[in-house]
Amino acid sequence: MTETAYNFAYLDEQTKRMIRRAILKGVAIPGYQVPFASREMPMPYGWGTGGVQVTAACLTPADTLKVIDQGADDTTNAVSIRKFFQRTAQVAVTEHTAEASVIQTRHRIPEAPLTEGQILVYQVPIPEPLRFLEPRETETRKMHALEEYGLMHVKLYEDIAHNGEISTAYAYPVKVEGRYVMDPSPIPKFDNPRLESAAIQLFGAGREQRIYAIPPYTQVVSLDFEDYPFEASKADHPCDLCGCGTSYLDEVIVDDDGGRMFVCSDTDFCATRRAEGHRGRLAGEDLAEELA
C-alpha cells in the first residue's frame, strides 16, 4: 500500500467521526472520561496513541501543528509524531506556540499563554486519577458517578502525615468545574494553574480508551487543604540560557563532577527569549549560537 492510500491524517472518516463524538461529549461534560473505541495506531501504545488519535480527529488541512514532549519540539518522540502528521496529513508544522492551531503535548503546558481558537492535545498514560487507589475500572467509574472522592482526600492527607506535604509532584489531581476529579496527565504540578486556559484542552488515552476535555475558561482547582494549600513549585533557579525566573526548568548534568545547569524545558519559549536578547548565566554568545 502506498502512503497516498491512507486517508487524511491516517484514520478513516468513520473513525474520526467516532472520536469527534467522544470529544464533543467530553467538552459537554468537563473532566468526565468518555470511553471511545481507540484504534491500533502505527506507533506503540504508551507513546501517544491517544493524543495522536485526538489530533487526527481535530486536524484540517488548514491547521498548523506543533508537537512537544517534555516541553521540547526536538525530543525524539515529538519529532516522530510531527513527522507522522507531515506524512499522513501534509499539514504545516511549527515550533512556535503562538503560530500553532493544534499543539500535541506530552508532560507540559507551553509557557506562553494559549489563546482562543487553539487546541492543546495531551497524551495521557493513565487517565484515571483514582487508579492507584483502586485498580478496578468497575469501581472507579462508580466512585466518579457518586462523586465519591473521599479516598483521594485521605491519600493526600496521609501524604502530609507521612511527609509533611502532599508528595505528588506531577499528574497532580484537579477538580474540574466543581464536579469531576481529573488527572491532568503527568504534567508537573507547576503547570496546574495554567489548566484554566482560553484554549480548548483535549486529553487522549489510547490504550485505556478514554477521551476527556477542559473547555476554555473552565474552572480547574488543584486538590488541597485550607491549611496545606496547593503550591506550584519549580527548581529555585533562573534559566541559565535565557535568564527567565518564572519558567519550568530542566536540570542538566554538564560535567563529570556533577556540575549542573538549569534550562527552560519549553524550548520555543527559551529560544524566543534569547532571540529577544535575554541572556542567562551560561549563555555567552558562543553557546547561544551553538544552540540556535
Give, in degrees to the nearest 5, the angle at Cα 166 between 164 and 167: 95
Among 16, 66, 108, 194, binds other proteins (CB under 8 A): 108
Instruction: Give the one residue of 47, 84, 122, 269 binding other proteins; rule: CB under 8 A.
Output: 47
* Span interacting with other proteins, options 4-12, 150-158, 174-182, 268-276, rule CB under 8 A: 4-12
31, 48, 50, 71: the catalytic one is: 31
Site for other proteins in 131-160 (CB under 8 A): 136-138
Residue 291 binds other proteins, judged by CB under 8 A? yes
Asked whether position 107 contacts other proteins by CB under 8 A, the answer is yes
Catalytic residue, from 71, 206, 270, 280: name it: 270
Residue 242: strand, helix, or coil: coil
Classify burial at 292, counting beta carbons within 10 Å of its beta carbon; exposed 0-12, middle 13-18, buried 19 or more. Answer: exposed
Annotated catalytic residue 264: yes
Choice from 9, 23, 49, 144 touching other proteins (CB under 8 A): 49
Stretch that binds other proteins, among 95-103, 113-121, 150-158, 166-174 (CB under 8 A): 166-174
Provide the residue count of the chain: 292
Helix (H), strand (E) counts: the chain: 7, 12
- Cell numbers placing 110: 507551553
- Which positions ≥6 away from 283 have C-beta within 8 Å? 240, 241, 242, 243, 274
Q: Are 241 and 264 in contact (CB under 8 A)?
A: yes
- How many residues touch other proteins under the rule CB under 8 A: the total is 68
Query: Looking only at residues 171 through 230 of this chain, which bind other proteins when binding is defined by CB under 8 A?
Result: 171, 186-190, 207, 209-210
Choice among 48, 51, 204, 239 that is catalytic:
239
Query: What distances in angstroms separate CA 289 from CA 24, 239, 266, 285, 286, one per listed residue?
Result: 45, 17, 18, 6, 5
In sequence order, the 6+-apart residues with CB closer than 8 A to the CB of 266 are 68, 71, 72, 97, 108, 110, 111, 112, 247, 248
* Binds other proteins (CB under 8 A): choice among 62, 163, 257, 258: 163
Q: Which stretch binds other proteins (CB under 8 A): 110-118, 145-153, 167-175, 196-204?
A: 167-175
CB of 36 or CB of 212, closer to other proteins = 36
What is the identity of the amino acid at 181? V
Is 143 strand, coil or helix?
helix
- Grid cell locating 92: 504545516
SS3 content of the chain, % helix, strand, coil (to 5): 30, 20, 50
| Residue 244 is a catalytic residue | no
Which parts of this chain interact with other proteins (CB under 8 A)?
1, 6-7, 10-12, 35-42, 44-47, 49, 69-72, 74-80, 83, 106-108, 125, 136-138, 163-165, 167, 169-171, 186-190, 207, 209-210, 233-235, 248-252, 254, 261, 263, 265, 267, 287, 291
Which residues carry out catalysis?
Answer: 31, 239, 242, 264, 270
